[in-house]
Amino acid sequence: MSLTLSTLTTTNRRIFWAATFIAASIVFSFGWACALPLVGFAAVAALTTARREALLLTGAVWFANQAVGFLFLHYPTDAMTLFWGGALGVIALMSCESAGLLARRFPGFAGGLAAFLAAFVVYESLILAVTAATGPGVDHFTAPIISRIFFINLGAFATLLMLKAAAAAVAYRNAAKTFASRPI
């Protein structure tokens, strides 16, 4: 018997999805460094997994991004960088939770869209609040910059959902072949 997604147990499929999710975050981390689309990851985690698992996945994505940043991209190790690293983790978890709340409230496409938008609004609002509280100023919160961040996150959100849908289609196709009636 060959190993396909349809032959994996539900637990193994969840592990496979988590590994794929974290691997994607590592790839994105090398591409966008500290601009990792945490909103996209948090919203997809909230849409595709149970609440606890979504928070764990979001935390794992944040941790993988921080590991890549400090180990390979040579983030500075000053107090402000460490503070912002931790703040981004907490903000990502809050974004995931807000996405999950709306995803559970509104089903289907509307729920997915609402989850992404809620995660983005929470994420950017909290980034703005922390920036204002720590004093460097909020001059860089301009429409072009926020728009760019929005579209990076939207692209990651769509890509991750397509990846999940493709894996589900492959699993379903393999399962359909396995259980299809065969002529005698």
Q: Is 162 exposed, middle or buried (0-12, 13-18, 19+ CB in 10 A)?
A: exposed
pLDDT of residue 80: 93
Query: Which residue, among 59, 50, 63, 24, has the nearest Cα to 160 in the 3D structure?
Result: 24
Instruction: Specify the pTM.
Output: 0.86
pLDDT of residue 8: 60
Which residues contact residue 85 at a Cβ distance below 8 angstroms, ignoring those fewer than 6 apart? 66, 69, 75
pLDDT of residue 139: 87
Which position has the higher pLDDT, 3 or 91? Answer: 91
**Residue whose structure tokens are 């496409």:** 109
Please state the length of the chain: 184
Which residues contact residue 87 at a Cβ distance below 8 angstroms, ignoring those fewer than 6 apart? 130
Q: Find out whether 6 and 175 touch, Cβ atoms under 8 Å.
A: yes
- Considering only CA atoms, give the Rg of the chain: 18
**Residue whose structure tokens are 């969840």:** 14
Q: Find out whether 95 and 43 touch, Cβ atoms under 8 Å.
A: yes
- How many whole angstroms separate alpha carbon 58 and alpha carbon 41? 7
pLDDT band per the 50, 70, 90 thresholds, residue 164: confident
Residue 139 token pair:
């001059």
Q: Write the pLDDT tens digit of every residue in 57-88.
A: 999 999 999 999 999 999 999 999 999 999 99
pLDDT band per the 50, 70, 90 thresholds, residue 135: confident
Q: For 139, which DSSP code? A: T
Cα 57 to Cα 15, 68, 118: the distances in Å are: 11, 16, 18
Q: What's the whole-number mean pLDDT along residues 148-162?
A: 94
